[in-house]
Amino acid sequence: MRRGLAWMLALTLLVGGVAACSDDDDKADDKTDESGSDDTAADDSGDSEGGNAAIEEYCDAVQELVDKSAELQDDPTNSDLQAEVTQLSTDLGTQATDLAAEAATFTAEDAERFQACQTDFSGIGG
């Protein structure tokens, strides 16, 4: 379990660094159509739960792991739950690695959401 947490901390730092270094300064210029008008309002769906589906899936899985870890703290002798938490942690490590590889393409909101979930994930067991 500690090894998994160490990986998550390392991934958190990696993704945080990549997200901080991503190039977002030209995105406002790309939103201008041929008439020169800014069409950024057309891209806003008003849905705060939108964004990258893979990040949302990852964050949902992190929340599941947080919940199961809390259950495990209440019943540390439950070997089935222990195995489930270990498997979830391993799977999340893989998901986080895959998402970190795509971090350069994240919007600012996606990067922020992913970082928040990484923080939740790294805080498990602490």
The two three-digit tokens of residue 8, written as one number: 């998550």
Q: How far apart are CA 53 and CA 37, in angstroms?
A: 29
The pTM for the full model equals 0.60
Neighbours of 90 (CB within 10 A): 13
| pLDDT score, position 123 | 81
Residue 16 DSSP code: H
Model confidence over 7-26: pLDDT tens digits? Answer: 444 445 444 554 555 455 54
- Does the pLDDT of residue 91 top 90, yes or no? yes
Residue 50: strand, helix, or coil: coil
